[in-house]
Amino acid sequence: MSRDKFLTVMAVLGENGQSQMEGMQRAIFSCGVQGTQTMNIPFHISLGSFPLEKKEVIIKRMQSVSKETRPFSVIFPVYSSFTDRVLFAKPIVTPELLQLHSPFEGNYADGFPWTPHATLFIGAAEETAIARKALDECFQPFSASITALELGSFFPAEFICRCPLNDEA
């Protein structure tokens, strides 16, 4: 069951990851498809979703975790999909990523198990097939740093706060 409005904690990709993902998205868009993915947020790996009334608790948890966590790299060796509508860069799940996810484990939004991913495209099956062909041609494995945590509410997407990871943790 999907919820109408919820909070999401996101592990934000650093500049290099943003650039890599933007390049792939431009290649997709150059094929004439736009999709329905949220465009006004940074590329990220969702760590967990929560009811709106948990906002203050989640912000405090994010502040604590970000102070204790150094930026780290994640490798995205492949892209994958959820059904025939969603395309995403799929990271290798490392101990660092699992440790960052652990305090935010929860999937209030839709109840599905956590599947780390960075969304590239969401669309109708026909559009997604076109986007997949573009990714087949342009996707290259890449590494990206996780540099911050962000909290947003969805839908529509609304920025709430950002907690940079601690370079000196």
DSSP state of 78: E
What whole-number distance in Å separates Cα of residue 10 and Cα of residue 101? 9
Question: Which single residue is written with the structure tokens 């498809």?
Answer: 33
In 10 A of CB 7, how many CB atoms? Answer: 23
Full-prediction pTM beyond 0.85?
yes
Domains observed in the chain: 6-164 (3.90.1140.10)
Higher pLDDT, 43 or 167: 43
Question: Cα–Cα–Cα angle for 132, 37, 35, nearest 5°?
Answer: 55
* AA letter at 34: Q
Q: Are 80 and 115 in contact (CB under 8 A)?
A: no
Question: Each residue of 125-147: pLDDT tens digit?
Answer: 999 999 999 999 999 999 999 99
